[in-house]
Structure 1
Amino acid sequence: MKIVFAGTPEFARLAMSAILEAGHEVPLVMTQPDRPSGRGLKLTSSAVKQGALEAGIPVIQPRGLRLDGKYAEEAAQVRDALLAVQPDLMVVAAYGLILPKWVLELPRHGCFNIHASLLPRWRGAAPIQRAIEAGDLQTGICIMQMDEGLDTGDVLLRRALPITPAHTAAGLHDELAVLGGRAIVQAIAELEAGALKPEPQPAEGVTYAAKLEKAEGLLDVSQPAAVLARRIRAFNPVPGAAVTLPGLDQPVKVWQAEQLPRDARTGAPGQVLSVSPEGVDIATGEGVLRLLNLQKAGGKRLPVADFVRGWDYKNSL
């Protein structure tokens, strides 16, 4: 198979590597333009671009793909590059640009998308985080035939994965990335064998995984402890969860926390109930949340036993 690959982050790079390791030809890679990153705002290439260059694959980085849009000249260059390659298939994974109809129809077999949810649940931008936040017990990978809708195409292959109480978004991302690489290789093999059986997505059970906003990271402690614990896991590492603690002038980032079961202590939401090397216990709208790994603004991420040594909390109890 001659496959054009379109993707940007590490999740996509692992899928591209799996396709290459399976022996398929990837003559062209599409990824997002280099972005400023870090404190020095140095232009940084995407994980997919870095992987493609290491493999000696040409890379194009258009800012848009609409032939009648703001970046029409760049879109036309992409069209010419794709026509020159004549791909059998395009594989898309967390690319970051909407593919217009002309792109979807150009490859002989169209475009396959690697989506990190069990569609139709969690269509959209942040399926991994929203699944954890909602308390879902499982997620997975769907290989989808792309159409002009938002993750609405037929599902070609699906693989489920349990979500455990220990999963953060980072950990679940890594497991799904590996699963996605295996799934796309299998889907391509089934395509070659004529064995794919497209399944239209049901109308029932559709949910949308809205893009993550930085403001969501500030925890609303009037919510139940169980909800807050899930949000902390879901927003680790991005956009990060934070809580306001007495005696500190800026919110503190929370990297790890747990709901305490069957804890009869009560207080106003956000009230610090106790501080110990085992954790900072705060009252919530329902139950007690124990903070386990914290980071002050501008400081280092610390286990709670180290964090409390530098925090004058006595007046807050």
Structure 2
Amino acid sequence: MRVVSFGFQTWGRKTLQALIDSDHEVVLAVTHPASAQSYKAIWSDSVEELAREHGIPVHLTERADAQTIDLVKRAEPDVIVVNSWYTWMPAELYNLPPHGTLNLHDSLLPKFTGFSPVLWALISGESEFGLTVHRMDEGLDTGDILVRRSLPIGPVDTGTELVLRGMEMIPGAVHEALAALESGTAIWRPQNTSERTYFHKRSERDSLIDWSWSAVDLERFVRALSEPYPRAYTFYRGERIEVLEAEVSQARYGGTPGRVIVQEGGGAVVAGPDAHRGANRGLVIAKIRTAAGVEHSGVEFFARGGYLTDQ
């Protein structure tokens, strides 16, 4: 089959590589220009570079405009395959090929539609995450499902580890989906819209620690925001600090939320929600990084006690 690829960042590049490695012909690669903007600069392996290495025509654009649609029409694809495309695609485009347009989304749809689904899945306490190949329609990640693959989320997994693990599923999912289309054996499963959840784009504000969360939630939050993502941060004595490593306390503590109480297991314990009842576990902060980029152990840095705040 003739395939047009729409993609960006490492997700788009791995998808293009999977298409190149398949038995199908990639006739056009559409991608966004390189960007230094926040999350777009993370996992920024170039789709354009890979396409040019293999002699595939490349179209750079921010959006699927009239020129883009014209180029795709002239490429005469049997199917369009999309992964990590940041802007809206009109029906005129995604309905153009005989097999329509396949979109890869790194969640188990219909849950975690929208943005940064792997990070949100870990933060939310899910036991698994995955990759879904679905048919593009007028909604955001709402089309009928063709391929769905899942992996467990372990008790010490970081957001970075899960993202990398999810990317490893791309080749197999792409090859399975295209084989089903070509052979005529594709089985499309409508999404249950009552189970749909949507998550917005992440920004710097979304990495701010909320000390009203439980220690269990905050420990996952710290693990989710691992390098190269913006780290979980808070303020201590007027200084912004990043929390790099943390765990849930063994003992239960009482006091005021955000108060650095005591040392436990090589870290400093911070009281959480309903601390006045003395029934909940605290967050043990093992390692932090200051605004100057210097890392400290929690025991060393919080030796004076005090409070962690949101400003």
Could you state the TM-score of these two structures normalised by the residue count of structure 1? 0.86
* Identical counterparts, % of pairs: 32
- CA contact 2:10–2:44 (8 Å) conserved in 1: no
Aligned partner of 1:199 among 186, 189, 193 = 189
Report how far residue 140 of structure 1 moved.
1.0
- CA contact 1:243–1:254 (8 Å) conserved in 2: yes
Describe the shift of the 1:151–1:37 C-alpha distance in structure 2 as closer, same or farther (beyond 3 A): closer
Distance 2:231 2:184 in 1: 44
Runs of 4+ in 1 over 3 A off after TM superposition: none
- Partner in structure 1 of residue 247 of structure 2: 258
Describe the shift of the 1:118–1:312 C-alpha distance in structure 2 as closer, same or farther (beyond 3 A): closer
Describe the shift of the 1:79–1:315 C-alpha distance in structure 2 as closer, same or farther (beyond 3 A): closer
Per residue, is there more strand in 1 or in 2? 2
- Partner in structure 2 of residue 281 of structure 1: 269
- Partner in structure 1 of residue 277 of structure 2: none
- Partner in structure 2 of residue 174 of structure 1: 164
Distance 2:118 2:28 in 1: 28
Distance 1:143 1:275 in 2: 47
Report how far residue 240 of structure 1 moved.
2.3
- Partner in structure 2 of residue 26 of structure 1: 26
Distance 1:142 1:315 in 2: 47
Distance 1:92 1:227 in 2: 33
Report how far residue 12 of structure 1 moved.
2.3
Distance 1:308 1:47 in 2: 42
- CA contact 2:260–2:305 (8 Å) conserved in 1: no
Count residues in correspondence. Answer: 297
Indicate whether 1:293 and 2:283 are aligned. no
Describe the shift of the 1:12–1:45 C-alpha distance in structure 2 as closer, same or farther (beyond 3 A): closer
Distance 1:89 1:215 in 2: 39
AA at the equivalent of 1:236: S
Residues 49-58 or 85-94, more deviating: 49-58
Report how far residue 54 of structure 1 moved.
3.0
Distance 2:245 2:189 in 1: 39
- CA contact 2:249–2:264 (8 Å) conserved in 1: no
Report how far residue 23 of structure 1 moved.
3.3
SS at match of 1:196: coil
- Partner in structure 2 of residue 243 of structure 1: 234
Indicate whether 1:190 and 2:180 are aligned. yes
Aligned partner of 1:141 among 131, 135, 151 = 131
- CA contact 2:30–2:60 (8 Å) conserved in 1: yes
Deviations 1:51-107 (A, max 9, x none): 223333222122222xxxxxxxxx222122112211111110111111111111112
**Structure 2: gaps (5+ residues):** 274-279
Distance 1:57 1:225 in 2: 50
Deviations 1:94-131 (A, max 9, x none): 11111111111112211101111111111111211111
Aligned partner of 2:256 among 246, 250, 268 = 268
Residues 270-279 or 94-103, more deviating: 270-279
Distance 1:10 1:62 in 2: 17
Q: CA RMSD in A?
A: 2.4
- CA contact 2:7–2:85 (8 Å) conserved in 1: yes
Q: How does 1:91-240 map to 2 (within 5 A)?
A: 91-237=81-227, 238-240=229-231
Distance 2:61 2:12 in 1: 17
Report how far residue 277 of structure 1 moved.
8.0
Distance 1:225 1:269 in 2: 11
SS at match of 1:118: coil
Could you state the TM-score of these two structures normalised by the residue count of structure 2? 0.87
Describe the shift of the 1:266–1:211 C-alpha distance in structure 2 as closer, same or farther (beyond 3 A): same
AA at the equivalent of 1:48: V
**Structure 1: gaps (5+ residues):** 66-74
- CA contact 1:12–1:177 (8 Å) conserved in 2: no
Deviations 1:160-194 (A, max 9, x none): 11111222221111111111221111111111111
Describe the shift of the 1:221–1:315 C-alpha distance in structure 2 as closer, same or farther (beyond 3 A): closer
Deviations 1:232-263 (A, max 9, x none): 222334332112234xx3221122221124x1
AA at the equivalent of 1:27: V
Describe the shift of the 1:253–1:106 C-alpha distance in structure 2 as closer, same or farther (beyond 3 A): same
- Partner in structure 2 of residue 3 of structure 1: 3
